[in-house]
Chains A and B, each alone.
Chain A
Amino acid sequence: MKDNIEKTTIVLFSGELDKAIAAFIIANGAAAFDQEVTLFFTFWGLNALRKDEHVAVKKGFLENMFAKMMPRGANKLGLSKMNFGGMGPKMIKHVMKKHHALSLPELIELAKEQGVKLVACTMTMDLLGLQKEELMEGIEYAGVAAYLGDATDAKVNLFI
């Protein structure tokens, strides 16, 4: 076993299902390589961390609009190509099941189990009006400095 632990950091900026799946597959793969993995969620990527159920929190008008218009959780994300008004994600989920590929919620669970650090960007949470209560348990909250702290000594840095 090697003494020096390698690191991988991934920024998930996008809020589409296919891109989130790619990010989580790489994160899980890197964790299986005994690496320390940080997945940093910012802007639309934060939607992958939202709880599916409605959480009653106090919000302003704009924040409420954002909350209604953005997908609520990993199961509701659309595709970046061939979304077809929501039919695309249904088809891809069907095909994934057929090929025994893990679903996005399963990939997220696996990442947590493997010790992948999931970090929500607090600045964009404020912009989109997302509050801690609306995001899943077991994640961390930080800003660009914490991300850079991890990324500086990581050999793999991805922006998805």
Chain B
Amino acid sequence: MNSDKIVDAKGMACPMPIVKTKKSMDELRSGQVLEVHATDKGAKNDLTAWAKSTGHELLSTAEENGVYKFWIKKA
């Protein structure tokens, strides 16, 4: 999936993945897609909740070798 920006939050502990995601999302324009990579085991629930609460659209998720990947479209 194409993305306009990638956030590498691998190895980071709570709450850094969502803090970094938020900061990067602020730099995007509406409709652009942010890709997030994280290894925190809570990342899937955290980013799903974050997208829901902030109104952005979680397009897709994937997991490869312990790395969780997310594609979020800016509202």
Contact = CB atoms under 8 A, between A and B. Distances in A.
Given A1-B75, A32-B22, A34-B22, A102 B54 contact: no
Contacts of A28: 15, 19
A82 B22 CA distance: 35
A110 interface: yes
Contact of B19 (A6, A99, A110): A110
Interface residues of A, number: 16
B11 A32 contact: no
A89 to B, nearest CB: 18
A133 to B, nearest CB: 31
| Majority secondary structure of chain A interface residues (helix, strand, loop or mixed) | loop
Contacts of A54: none
A25 interface: yes
A54 B12 CA distance: 34
Nearest to A27: B15
A33 B50 contact: yes
B75 A100 contact: no
Given A1-B55, A2-B55, A32 B15 contact: yes
10 contacts: A1-B54, A25-B14, A28-B15, A31-B19, A32-B15, A32-B21, A33-B22, A33-B53, A101-B14, A110-B19
Given A2-B55, A29-B15, A32-B21, 4 more contacts: A25-B14, A25-B15, A32-B15, A100-B11
